[in-house]
Amino acid sequence: MPESNWKAGLRAVAIPVLATIVGLVVGILCIVIAGKDPVLAAKAFVRAVAGEPRMFGNVLVSTIPLIFTGLAVAFAYRAGLFNIGVEGQYLMAQIATVVVGVWWIPPQGLEWLHPIAALGAGAVAGAIWGGIVGFLKAWKGVHEVINSIMMNWIALFTADWLLKYYLRPDNSRAASYDLQPTAWLSQGLIEGSRLHTGIWIALGTAVVVWIILFKTPLGYEIRAVGYSPGAAEYGGISVARALIITMAISGAIAGMAGSVQTMGLNHRFNETSALLGYGFDGIAVALVGRLHPAGVVLAALLFGALQASSGLMQAMAGVPKSVVSIVQAVVIFFVAAEGLWSFLQRRRAAKKEVTTA
Amino acid sequence: MSVGFFTILLTFIVATLRATTPLLLAALGGVFSERSGVVNIALEGIMLSGAWAGAYFSFISGSAWIGLLGAVGVGVIMAGLHAVASIKYYADQVVSGTAINLLAVGFTEFMLNRVWGQAGGSPEVASLPNIFGLNLMIYVAFILAFVSWVALYRTPWGLRLRSVGEHPLAADTLGINVYKMRYAGVLLSGVMGGLAGASLSIGLLSRFVDGMSAGKGFIALAAMIFGKWHPLGAVGATLLFGASQSLSTIFQLMGIQGIPTQFFNMFPYVLTMLILAGFVGRSVAPAADGVPYRKTN
């Protein structure tokens, strides 16, 4: 008996919701182990999320990069590609955005072009960084995960080298030159918060990703390749082309995360000696969002709230910030261990068989 | 030149051996796991938690040996999580590994705060002894590389472990317990990853520093690939990567400038991509690496 649509939908939602609950329970356990008061922590969380409009604004500030990175991971995953290289694409895009944002001076009257150019440069840089991985997969069959990881570290050191040799005014400064104000995204959507117009770019990107995936021939090809590369090839789809395009688009989306962060929030590239985990956040968001753009936005909001509230939870309830990483890890773990849940599903299915028989 | 040639050479060799040790141990862990068919990008996290555990158990017991045991134990627990998720519950092994890495970051930060009430690092703890001026773990790493080679390539057990990574169905047909061998592979990677962590915190140093694995698990992964998923290949690859790391220090010592240190840092990753693409030699993964085995009957 074919299952009704809404039931299948419910099941798709059930796993991330259950995994999130498990994650939060572990988080509460950690708070208790740390000898802190979970009720106070919960109060701090609620206050940090909804206490004042500006605080909700800060949640959205944390949500913006998560929407992009989550979309980037989800998009690639649809083609059966695991883009663990979001971090590197993000970094290279920041560098490209800094170059355009600092050195390109838009002609009089065309200042509005500046953010578009800076964002475009970031997207292209991300697309190249991701596209290389897709190209090597299509051409030489090299697994995208290994190359993505390598490209992350190459990006880290390339960015560090460019920053230290070319992008900063002097050696004492741990950041690049500031972007010209014409390349900034305007803040102040909510008074008192640093919420910037990047939120509209993020939501717009989610819509575009949805359209590409589900309403265009390209999206159909991408999903066909993800479902079964062999069958797709047989059906006349160029798998190699799909792999390269998918990784390039995924990289472009990841790059936009870095660009928007630079243009809306930091206005410069800050020195970093370690990968900061934007890519890993994106993996969590994509999985919890069930690889669907709408789900990604919701999951980004959840993790954004967790991240944004970690400061106040620490200040008010003494909750260590590391608890957020632990919660995130547990959620990923339980979404990933599909066998754990299919066990439940199988048993349910078996029961149904018995009753229908 | 103010510093003598032999001093520089000796400094270079010692620095290389020190840089190689954690990489080699972790790479060996990767070899065991991936030869059995389980991709292990969790090495970074296993190493980090092992480093923490080494310092923690050394701290509470006052003995670096207990620290070493603790590092191995915690490494095995972390690897065990990865094993259960990816072998029993068919999790995507990359996703599971990612979760472990994230968990290790959160866990070690959390415990750093909980145990020592400070961020940044632990106080000084007892560390493992030096032998002829080189830390014990340096010898352990190279001896274990040889032992791993014997175990994997000169024993029936090793043949079985490799067979489940190449063709699990065929191995199953021959009566080899695929799941058991894969658990063995992944848990051994926990032992090695734990040792790698211990070599950082209570071997080469005598304290835990927050985030001290600093991507070494991923370099080890690259070295494992560069070494063609072979224990002795891993020795060569980690020596090369270790040397490239210490070269930048030596160049500074010799007053050679102009080559950005970042180039030395990215060298292992670039080389790995080149070899994977077939531009420098060829390296092929075990056939069933990363593919969950579902018994059908």
pLDDT tens digits for A218-236? 999 999 999 888 899 898 8
Cα separation, B97 vs B69, in Å, equals 23
CATH topology of domain B5-124+136-276: ABC transporter involved in vitamin B12 uptake, BtuC (1.10.3470)
Residues of A in contact with B211 (CB under 8 A): 274
3-state class of B125 per DSSP?
coil
Q: Give the closest of B91, B211, B270 to A338, CB-based.
A: B91
Q: What is the mean pLDDT of residues A205-219?
A: 96
* Closest chain B residue by Cα to residue A318: B113
Residue A286 distance to chain B (closest CA, Å): 11
Distance (Å, whole) CA B140 – CA B129: 12
Nearest to B226 by CA among B237, B213, B214: B237
Calculate the CA A217 to chain-centre distance.
25
pLDDT in tens, A46-82: 998 888 888 899 999 999 999 999 999 999 999 999 8
Rg of chain B (C-alpha set): 19
Nearest to A336 among B95, B214, B222 (CB): B95
CA nearest to A63, candidates A343, A264, A335: A264
pLDDT of residue A347 exceeding 70: no
Q: Assign residue A337 a region: left if phi > 0, alpha if psi is -120 to 50, beta otherwise? A: beta
Close Cβ partners of A46 (under 8 Å, ≥ 6 residues apart): none
- Cα separation values, A250 from A131, A198, A246, B65, B236, Å: 9, 18, 6, 47, 35
Q: Distance, in angstroms, between B4 CA and closest chain A CA? A: 30
Handedness of CA A268, B120, A325, B96 (dihedral sign): positive
Averaged pLDDT for residues B203-226? 90
Task: Report the alpha-carbon distance of residue B37 to residue B33 in Å, rounded.
Answer: 7
Residue A192 burial (CB count, 10 A): 12
- The pLDDT, as a whole number, for residue A355 is 38
Taking an 8 Å cut-off on Cβ atoms, the answer to whether B98 and A283 are in contact is yes
Q: Which of A33, A143, A154 sits opposite B270 (nearest CB)?
A: A154
pLDDT digits (tens, 9 = 90+) for B20-35: 999 999 999 999 999 9
Pick from B279, B216, B229, B103: nearest CA to A153: B216
A356 pLDDT above the threshold of 50: no
Q: What average pLDDT does chain B have?
A: 89
**Closest among B45, B82, B55, B16 to B215, alpha carbons compared:** B45
Q: Residue A288: what pLDDT?
A: 87
User: Looking at residue B220, what is its pLDDT?
Assistant: 93
pLDDT tens across A6-60, in order? 776 777 788 888 888 999 999 999 999 888 889 999 999 999 888 888 889 999 9
Let me know: does B286 contact B162? Beta carbons within 8 Å: yes
- What is the pLDDT, as a whole number, of residue A357? 34
Please check the confidence at residue B16 and state whether its pLDDT lies above 60. Answer: yes
At residue A142, does pLDDT exceed 90? no
Q: Express as a percent the part of chain A with pLDDT over 90.
A: 58
* A150 to B269: CB separation less than 8 angstroms, yes or no: yes
Indicate the SS3 state at residue B19: helix
DSSP-assigned beta bridge partners for residue B135: B130
pLDDT at residue B1 tops 60: no
Mean pLDDT over the full length of chain A: 89
Q: What is the DSSP string of B134-156?
A: EEHHHHHHHHHHHHHHHHHHSSH
DSSP bridge pairs for B209: B121
CA angle A181, A182, A186 (to 5 degrees): 75
Strand partners, A196: A187
DSSP annotation string for A220-258: HHHHHHHH-HHHHHHTT--HHHHHHHHHHHHHHHHHHHH
A-chain CB neighbours of B102 within 8 Å are: 277, 280, 284, 325, 328-329, 332
Q: Where are the domains of chain B?
A: 5-124+136-276
| pLDDT tens digits for range B80-138 | 999 999 888 888 888 889 899 999 999 999 998 888 887 788 888 988 988 998 999 99
**CA A269, chain centre distance (Å):** 19
Strand B130-131, strand B134-135: pairing = antiparallel
Predicted pLDDT at B248? 74
Q: Are A307 and A60 contacting, i.e. CB atoms less than 8 angstroms apart?
A: no
CA–CA separation, A200 and B260 (whole Å): 40
Mind listing the pLDDT tens digit for each residue in B56-94?
999 999 999 999 999 999 999 999 999 999 888 888 888
A332/B89 touch (CB, cutoff 8 Å), yes or no: no
Domains and CATH numbers, chain A: 1-34+320-357 (no CATH), 51-316 (1.10.3470)
Q: Check CB contact under 8 Å for A339 and B103.
A: no
Across the A:B interface, residue pairs with CB atoms under 8 Å apart total 146
- Cα distance from A246 to chain B (closest Cα, Å)? 19
Residues A34, B90: C-beta atoms closer than 8 Å:
no
pLDDT of residue B142: 96
Best mutation target among A28, A157, A285, A323 (most B Cβ atoms within 10 Å) is A157
Tokens of A331: 């959620």
Residue A212 pLDDT level (bands cut at 50, 70, 90) = very high
ipTM of the complex, rounded to two decimals = 0.87
Residues of B in contact with A151 (CB under 8 A): 269, 273
Which residues, other chains included, contact B23 with Cβ-Cβ below 8 Å and sequence gap of 6+? B196, B216, B219, B220, B223, B238, B241, B242
**A326 secondary structure, DSSP code:** H
How many CA atoms lie within 13 Å of B59's alpha carbon, on the beta-carbon side? Answer: 19
H or E stretch at A136: helix A113-140
Mark A172-186 as b/e (b = at least 16 C-beta within 10 Å).
eeebbbbbbebbbbe
Instruction: Please tell me the distance from the alpha carbon of residue B45 to that of residue B77, in angstroms, as a whole number.
Output: 11
Q: Do A34 and A321 touch, CB atoms closer than 8 A?
A: no
